[in-house]
A and B are shown apart, each in its own frame.
Chain A
Amino acid sequence: MLKNKKLAGAVVSEKTNIPNKKIEENGLPGIRMESRDLTVKYGTVTGVKNISLPICNEKVTALIGPSGCGKTTFLRSLNRMHDITRNATVSGEVLLDGRNIYHPKVNPVDIRRKVGIIFQKPTPFPTMSIFNNVVAGLKLVGIKNKKLLNEVCERALKQAALFDEVKDRLNSPGGSLSGGQQQRLSIARALAIEPEVILMDEPTSSLDPQSSSKIEDLIHELKKNYAIVIVTHNLQQAGRVSDNTGFFYLGELVEFGETEKIYTNPANKRTEEYLTGKFG
């Protein structure tokens, strides 16, 4: 428990000076995370194979492609969510700040504190209040400092553009919020532990257009401080929010590059066909 306390405390306080330092160590300016020859298998079925893809600081990386092409599988491998998936095996490397997160000595819990993930469906913890939902990642590892928790809660809710809507009812259950609010609550909860990278798995697919646009604004805001990876089926959305785009097809990364280039002048024929609606 003590160890965890220290860990969480460090994450909270050191945040501001992490990026620059880590980039220097890494020697690759701008690259926060990188997958190298990453292959994920479910039993004998291959989810994704040989994916090599960089994830840059202060950039939004969009992953697009038809259903079942492995976007989500790839995304979940970036913070070791496959560890609890039955039969899933991961080979290859994922580097975070130059270190392989699949190294046997690395604790997946530490990785998940640095690489946050937001799921397709909002998942507030059903028995917790809004406040406790937001600070769950700190409170449940033993941080009891009320003042710190209050500060973190307010900051995270503000970052997630939810604070004004819920500030008067922080003690009501998280499940009492609307779907769009719950999704922003999930985002606030992920931001509360100050990750370095944020993964988003179709964060707006279950939301109405108004809530979706709020979350898109949020992504624009967040990318100033974080590296963001977003999986989306909405090509317009990918075009609007992302700086880099990766096109996945049948478990392979077909093309990766700057969004503008991919959208206007894709190098691969299949990318062009997908973007122009000829298949998928």
Chain B
Amino acid sequence: MKNFSEHKTLWQRNLWDRFMVALLTFSTIMVMLPLLIIIGYVVVNGISALNWDLFTQELGSPARAMQGKSTGLIHTMLGTAVVDLLAIIIAAPVGLGAGIMLSEYPDHKLNPILRVINDTLNGMPAILKGLLAFALIVKPMGTFSGLSGGFALAFVMIPIIARSTESALMSIPWSIREAGLAIGLPRWRVVLSTVMPAARTGLVTGFLIAFARAAGEAAPLMFTSFGNNYLPNHWTGMILGPVDTLPQRLYSLAISPYKEWHELGWAAGIVLLGFVVTLFIIARMLTREKNYD
């Protein structure tokens, strides 16, 4: 019998090992680099525009900024909150339902179709989802609105939530379901009371990831929530009228011809970045807490 170590000497194997580790380290750095560059660049450029006014004043006309009057993005931040919350309220039940269907009823006739549709929806460009919301809601309502923006973002969230719900539920051993059925519980009750509680951190994580993904979308909002330089007179204006959102405001500030607005755009970038990164960190922390066996 030939010993394995006779094929390669020890130092050869050590060298090979080092080479592989170096390769992996290089890949890791290449993954981290774009993120660090983005964060660094946005922070360096936007930090000077961060001030109290940003969080208390509305934007107003370009003249306001050029005359050195105080301007801010409070209406944008509130608008983002309203549109994103509307989106998650619309998307959560639908995505959850689809995810339960995918994971818990693999025998159901609709299951394979649902899977294909969901994957297609997930891969579809977000701007098409905006177009859909435009046709379904903006046209009949006759006005751009936070509601239509919420729907557009919900279309972004639904396939992500469905997939994350499916994988969170699938990670719960099948034996738990059998144990539930074995004591004479109906199938829906087994899912609701034994499988879903066990998968709750995974479910919440999925919601947060979908939320963070959609919160960064600008394209589907351009012709749905449209944008607005002012706070509406009444809070319902946020839902029924055109409303500002961070990603789309960032875009319009960046392409504007005013230097003051460019700075404000970087500040909007910092706020958006902080918002999304916070959500992802919470999601990460929740996943790490998962410790049942």
Contacts and interface: CB of A to CB of B under 8 A. Distances in A.
A109 B176 contact: no
Query: What bracket does the count of chain A residues touching chain B fall in?
Result: 20 to 34
B102 to A, nearest CB: 14
Given A125-B198, A126-B198, A175-B293, A137 B185 contact: yes
Nearest to B194: A125
Nearest to B196: A127
B197 A113 contact: no
Given A86-B107, A126-B176, A175-B293, A110 B184 contact: yes
A157 B12 CA distance: 62
Interface string A104-123: 00000110110011110101
A23 B198 CA distance: 42
Contacts of B29: none
Nearest to A138: B183
Contacts of B107: 86
A125 B195 CA distance: 8
B171 to A, nearest CB: 12
B189 A119 contact: no
B160 to A, nearest CB: 25
A112 B178 contact: no
A83 B189 CA distance: 16
B198 A119 contact: no
Interface of B is mostly: helix
B292 A127 contact: yes
B178 A140 contact: no
Contacts of B106: 86
Nearest to A80: B181
B182 A117 contact: yes
A109 B185 contact: yes
Contact of A119 (B179, B197, B200, B292): B179
A79 B185 contact: no
A192 B181 CA distance: 14
B28 interface: no
A1 to B, nearest CB: 10
A116 B182 contact: yes
A152 interface: no
A112 B183 contact: yes
B177 interface: yes
Contacts of A2: none
Interface in A118-144: 118-119, 121, 123, 125-128, 136-137, 140-141
Contacts of B187: 84
Nearest to B107: A86
Given A86-B107, A140-B189, A125 B177 contact: no
A127 B292 CA distance: 8
Contact of A84 (B173, B181, B185, B194): B181
A190 B189 CA distance: 17
B51 to A, nearest CB: 47
A137 B292 contact: no
A261 B106 CA distance: 46
Interface in B256-293: 292-293
B182 A112 contact: yes
A127 B177 contact: no
Contacts of A121: 175
B25 interface: no
B178 A119 contact: yes
B186 interface: yes
A140 B184 CA distance: 10
A175 B291 CA distance: 11
Contacts of A126: 176, 197-198, 292-293
Contacts of B179: 119, 123, 125, 186, 189
Contacts of A235: none
A193 B185 CA distance: 11
Contacts of B198: 125-127
A79 B181 CA distance: 10
Given A121-B175, A175-B292, A136 B183 contact: yes
B184 A113 contact: yes
Contact of B176 (A116, A125, A189, A193): A125
B193 interface: yes
B192 to A, nearest CB: 9
Contacts of B178: 81, 84, 119, 123
A190 B193 contact: no
Contacts of A141: 184-185, 189
A84 B177 CA distance: 10
B183 to A, nearest CB: 4
B216 interface: no
A247 to B, nearest CB: 26
Given A123-B176, A175-B292, A109 B197 contact: no
Interface of B: 106-107, 173, 175-187, 189, 193-194, 197-198, 200, 292-293
11 contacts: A79-B182, A84-B177, A109-B184, A110-B184, A112-B182, A123-B178, A125-B180, A126-B292, A136-B193, A137-B185, A193-B183
